Structure 1
Amino acid sequence: MEQGGTVQVRFQPRIGHLLAAASENTVSVFDVENDRLTYSLKGHTTEVHSICWDTNGDYLASVSQESVRVWSLASGECIHELSGNNYHSCVFHPTYSTLMVIGGYQSLELWNMTENKCMTIAAHDCVISALSQSPLTGMVASASHDKSVKIWK
């Protein structure tokens, strides 16, 4: 296997032959069946904190403190970008494919990528370090450095 992951690694859902690995300000996408680097996704100016796949494995999101980028795996290009401050984690919404949930410092951002509109929700008392979603229940879970986990419907 290639070198390239120090922060987070995520297998592509459904198809599963791609592996995304974040290191510094780059996300590398590896074809694990053919043992080759497929994409080196660059554009963040600071370290990538989190990466996540959409449910179908067609899109990959990467989060750094200053921005969220959504990449198309068909082209390797950034197709959506949200600039902001203090982003730490991300997950695609389990039932709304154009909605992304982004964890920041004390709040969640709900980002409608097609309309490029955001809604901020007060969520925790500290950094939201991890997010997870369940396609079966439609729920999102958030974990924070405030030592709490919350479930969102």
Structure 2
Amino acid sequence: MTRHFISIFALLTLFGCSSPSEPQLTKQEISTQHPQLSTSDGYQDYFQEWQGVPYKYGGTSKQGVDCSAFTQDALGSLHQQWLPRTTQYQVETGVKVSLSNAKKGDLIFFKTSVKVRHVGVYIGNREFMHASTSKGVIISSLDNPYWKKAFWQVRRVL
């Protein structure tokens, strides 16, 4: 009896703590929902390859990635552009540009709290791809009130 109870408790704990993953978008859905992600420049394939990868502070792989490792890999893979590893140093790279002049491939930075900074890759149409702490690698809109309030700056490194 005790064995069964322990087994059931272990299973409930294991599966009760897991969160459902975000549904993976197909290429067609990505094209429809995010037309600025063109197949010709590699952004669509790159995003599809990384979408849903979980956020992991300090992570640098598809097992788990943080925001600055994601931007470092994205610009390295898509543009052969080297970036420093951390948000702290990435924000010192390139030149600051206004949000209204942002172009695909620019880095977009946010101040999400007093000491916390976040970075993503601008993809056009007021959207950016990034490693979200809650949803993993996703595309978000700058029109979302959270990101609108936290917006800090855009840096052009290309």
Same fold (TM over 0.5): no
More helix by share: 2
Larger radius of gyration: 2
TM-score, L = length of structure 2: 0.29
TM-score, L = length of structure 1: 0.30
More strand by share: 1
